[in-house]
Structures are given as structure tokens and as C-alpha cells.
Structure 1
């Protein structure tokens, strides 16, 4: 199996070249979790995998609690299906709490302060009263709990790890927080072993071909747990050694046989790149620095035939969206036609007319 075959199989398994799902919730369940700290772009991460869906439809699924945005895995913001949120939180939270411990101490967020904060959160949000960060910050400050120096983020993340709070419905175009148990009713518990197996099964089904090191990176699990998770499910997958690395992929997979060009405009922090420790199957080393900044910012990417060939960005206006591109190499007329189709699809997703500028502004 070649690197380009690895990349194109990933495009298939990640539902980018064609989706088998009809709801946002089912897609999120298939993916396991999708990184989502850039809220607007993360909605497109779902939309690009659900052709014909709009930003409005995706946000409705978020507002209804069909998918939940919270801190999981590495940790950072992720979308996950409401069906998976409890067991994924229970699996992720011990590791995330351990990572947070020293920073909480530096910020002087003691157990007593965090307990008081949690009580304020529960009291303020109970009864499906969804509040923004700013509204919660005001309540904390009024109660004598400082929210400066990134303390607010740590207070809220700690409450997420306690299973108290999660994302709420959008209010006045702002993100809110809500009580998790009011958003999602917990119906089933998983043992740690069941949760590990399910996470590994989800990852290698939706993200394969991938290695154990990729899974360790994506999951944020301790190495011992990640190894155990793979051991529990690896008989369900095909394994193949490529360049001395063992890759796992679903038993049912296909490698595209035709030579038709394909192009995709993928959002910042998309799973297609960020979910692998080794990204060389899709990203040439000479383009790495252009695509991923030194401080870990993943830019929106243009993917042609499985390879990252450029960057794009969007500027949203009242009735239009302006798309600007920076291709790493010259394109040909066939690629330009395909690109025009994809940029129009992005405009349709936002229900806006599309305008285009290349790097020189023409």
C-alpha cells in the first residue's frame, strides 16, 4: 500500500469522498469525535461530510443536543454524539484532570474554589437556562471568584470533566453552557474495558489506515490504555506493515481505481490531518510549515487527489463569503473547474454568494 493509497482510503473512511450517513448525530458517532475549537470551521467539518446539509441544519443538531461540544481526548474542544458523551467523558476525564492539576495550582484554583464554582454553575444553569461565558464570568466575579489569567477556561473545563456542564444552544450568535444531564439523559454505563474497545473500534474504522502511535495521539490515552484498547479489537481489522509501521484498517475498504481528479476544501483542524501523529501520507514535508504553524494551528487546506496542495480562508460578509486561496503549485484548468464547484458548495452551505480571490488578490 502506497502513501497516496493510505491518504485516499482515509478520505473514504472519514466520509469526505462520499457519506453513508443522513444525520449529523450518526456521522459524529461514526467519527468518534471531531476536533472543534474553531466553532464555525468545525460546523463545516460536519457539513463537508454530509453533502447537501447547511450550516443551519448542523447548528440545529447542536442546539438540540444531538451532538455535544465539550473537552475530550487530548484535550481540546470536540464534537461527539450525545449517545457517546458520557462514556467518552468518563474515559477521558482522569487523564485530562491529571494534565490540569499543576496549572490549577498555579492559578490558585483550589478544591474549595472549584467546588464553589461548580455550585454556582449548577444553580445558574439549572432549568435549561443556557448562559454564555461572559454571563457566567459575571456570576463568578460577583461571588468573589476571579476569572482572569485564563482561570475561567479552567473552571469550566473542570466542570466539564466532572460531568456537570457541556455546550448549550447558541444564543445571540454566542456559544453557551448548559447542564449536561439536562441536555442528555444517561441511559447506559460502560466499564473501562468496554469504553477502551469502543474508542479503538471507532477510531480505526473511521480513521484507518492508522497506527497505534496515531491512536495514542488522537485519543490522549496513556500508552498502556491505548495498547490495551487496540489489543481488544485488532482482530476485527486488517493489518499491514508499511515502512516498518503497522497500520490497521477496516476489513471492508476500497482503494479508488479511477484516475478522476478529486478536490476538497477542508476546514481548520480537520480530522483528515489532525487525527494522525504521522501526516506524511497526505502532507509533504516541504509544505508542513505552511500548513501547520509552530504553535500548532492547523490551517484550512485544499486537498487534491489525497494530497494537501494549498491553503484557503474565508471572510464572511452579510450576503457573501469571500474565499482566498494559496496553492503551493500552479493548477490546471480541470482542477480550477473542480475548485469552482467546491467553493460554490461552501457558499451554499452558508447560504451566501461566493466571491473568489487568489493570493495576489485578483
Structure 2
């Protein structure tokens, strides 16, 4: 059955401006789901809601969480959440590094880790990384990190070299990713950097650093429901893209999630709801716990590279007019540029350097069309980012 959620729970019944009423309504609801119009009370709460936030650019992943947090969250606030062990960073899906709540790392990797490993098996063979090499790598890493030790990537690689495991070329990277996909290590506390925001984290043993790992009864259904809660309206194709799982598995996850939701007796529980059937079912999460929009949330936002609001969908023309997609990416180099979002629609890009001595420079916006956002709105959005990065 297709349901129409209440106006502040899903925007499928509201909004008519922009490129079509339905697209506008979808953008409005996604802003809420992404906590861009309904900010979270803390960085940890924003991360918990998003589950996995893209973090290839480390500063960008941290800004993605701060932009979803009430008030003027700074990079120090996000780094403190890493230091407290509330969040970590690891290769959680699609061979891409994400920021994720510590408690959720292991069960998410139980779904995505093996598939990611198979996808890079040929590269590992080319690098001469076989099972025996990985066993030696794990033994050395455990010995070097046990007892609460934390090492930089360089220090871990030095330990591997001292133990007879070569990290030359790309071998060190692939060895680290392999350890991470099996949840042996993760990236946790911040490595300080003089004169600018850090670009690095210490590597730690997952079993020692994370003490409160969650264990959902149905991990695949949990993963789908959490994706819809943070990205809906969305469907199985979007979930398949986001996770890197096959479309058949994604559709099964949707069916399982909907069945579990329908079977709940507790009216206070979040529920998976179908809001459109064509061309494929689109879902949102409804219920009393769904974040409510804030009148104080800005309507124009400067969001980071690899932003979830843009990148997490099979069809990216909902938030962005087709003619501007190539200006954002992914380009031939795989880069996805920072974006400016006005009332749910991507209206431009921006640039900024986090190099030492340059992170306090003014970010530079480039709007696709004039009149999509005022100069004051864009300046306020970029000022909020600058407050974050210069704290």
C-alpha cells in the first residue's frame, strides 16, 4: 500500500517550486532526512543518524557532520568525537572510506566487507599479497597496536617493514584496507597538525578501541532502514549504489525491512513507509522519532566534496539539473566537488584549501545561474564553513 506521510514527516505532499512539484517535494524531504533542515543535537547524533558519511576528504567528512549539527559545530567538536571513540573512519562500502559510529562498524562490515575484498582480489594478487602475507600482516599489526597503542600510518608501515612485510608502492595501502575490511583495525583518534586542520588519524585495534559494538537482529534490514531514514525518499537502486551490493540483494533488503516494519506493534517505533510505487518503490521512515524541521536551519548551504545529499543516489538529477552534473563530478580523476545548495537544489560549487596557512582564506563560490541564491545567503553559508575550519 502507498501511504502519504504527514507534511513534516515526508515532503511528498508539499512543495511545488523548482524543476517540478514532485522533484521539489523529494528535495524537501531529503533535506530533512539528511538532517540538513532538521539538525542533530550533537556530532555523534548526526553520525548515528547518517550511519555512514563519505570521508575520502577527511575535512569534508567532518564538515558533513558539522553541517548536520545544531548551532555552529567546529572541526574541534568533530575531532573530539573521534577522540572519545564515538566515531571512527574505515572502508565501509564500495571501497570508499566513511565516517561511521564506532558501535556500527563491525555489523556493517559483516555485510559489505567480504564483497569489497573480492572486488580488489586481482589488485592484491598483482601486488603479491596472498593469504600467508595477510596472516603475517595481521600478526605484526596486532603486536604493534595491542595494549592500547595507536600508530600513524607511517609508523604502522614501519612496523610491517621491520617484520619483513613490504609496504612499497601501493602494497601498504592495500594491506591496510584488507585489515580494515576485516575490522581488525580502524582509524580513530586525531593526529595533531601544526598550523592547520589535521589530515590524519591514528590507526587502532578495533577490538580494543570499540567497546560497545551493536548487533542488530537482522543486519541487512537494519542497513536498509537506516539508509532510508537518512536518505529517503529513496529506493532499492539507490541502496544498491550506496552500499555496492547487488540490486537483487538490495530489493530483498527492502522487502525484509518493510515486513519487519509492518510487524511492529509499538506505535512509537519508526516505520518504513512506501510513498511512491513508480517506476520503483520509494521509501521514507515515519514515526514520532523522525527528526522535525527547524525554522532556524539555513536555506542555503555550502556542503563538502563527495556530499551524501548529491552522491548517494542512482539518479542525481533530483537535486541537480542535468546540465550541471559534470561541473560537480565524479570527473575522470574521481573527484566530486563541494556544492552550494539553495532550498534543496544544487546551484553552484565552491573551492577552498586546507593547506597549512591557507585554511583561513576565503572560500570561493561559483554559481551555475544568477539569482538562484543571494550574495548574502551564499556568504553566510561559506562563513559557517569558515567558522568550522578555523576553530
Write the distance in 2 (CA, Å) between the matches of 1:233 and 1:104.
35
Tell me the equivalent position of 1:279: 316
With over 3 angstroms needed to count, the CA separation of the structure-2 counterparts of 1:42 and 1:255, relative to structure 1, is closer
Tell me the equivalent position of 1:355: none
Deviation at 1:13, TM superposition (A): 0.9
Contact 1:315 1:322 in 2 (8 A): no
Are residues 1:39 and 2:88 paired?
no
Tell me the equivalent position of 2:3: none
Tell me the equivalent position of 2:49: 30
| Match among 345, 349, 354 for residue 388 of structure 2 | 349
| Match among 39, 62, 67 for residue 82 of structure 2 | 62
TM-score (norm 1): 0.89
| Match among 263, 266, 274 for residue 239 of structure 1 | 274
Contact 1:239 1:249 in 2 (8 A): yes
Q: Secondary structure at the match of 2:353?
A: strand
Contact 2:320 2:346 in 1 (8 A): yes
Which moved further from structure 2: 40-49 or 83-92? 83-92
Write the distance in 2 (CA, Å) between the matches of 1:276 and 1:7.
12
Are residues 1:226 and 2:250 paired?
yes
- The Cα offsets for residues 175-224 of structure 1, whole Å up to 9 and x where unpaired, read as 22111111112555445xx1011101101111001121001111122333
Structure 2: gaps spanning 5 or more residues:
1-11, 13-21, 194-199, 263-270
Q: For the aligned residues, what is the CA RMSD?
A: 2.3
Q: Secondary structure at the match of 1:18?
A: coil
Which moved further from structure 2: 107-116 or 170-179? 170-179
How many residues in Structure 1 have an aligned counterpart in Structure 2? Answer: 346
Deviation at 1:171, TM superposition (A): 2.1
Deviation at 1:139, TM superposition (A): 2.1
Tell me the equivalent position of 2:360: 320
Which moved further from structure 2: 180-189 or 82-91? 180-189
Tell me the equivalent position of 1:263: 300
* Structure 1 runs of 4+ with >4 Å offset: 252-256
Write the distance in 1 (CA, Å) between the matches of 2:119 and 2:47.
26
Tell me the equivalent position of 1:298: 336
Contact 2:102 2:213 in 1 (8 A): no
| Match among 360, 369, 374 for residue 335 of structure 1 | 374
Q: Secondary structure at the match of 1:269?
A: coil
| Match among 177, 202, 221 for residue 226 of structure 2 | 202
With over 3 angstroms needed to count, the CA separation of the structure-2 counterparts of 1:284 and 1:255, relative to structure 1, is farther
With over 3 angstroms needed to count, the CA separation of the structure-2 counterparts of 1:242 and 1:300, relative to structure 1, is farther
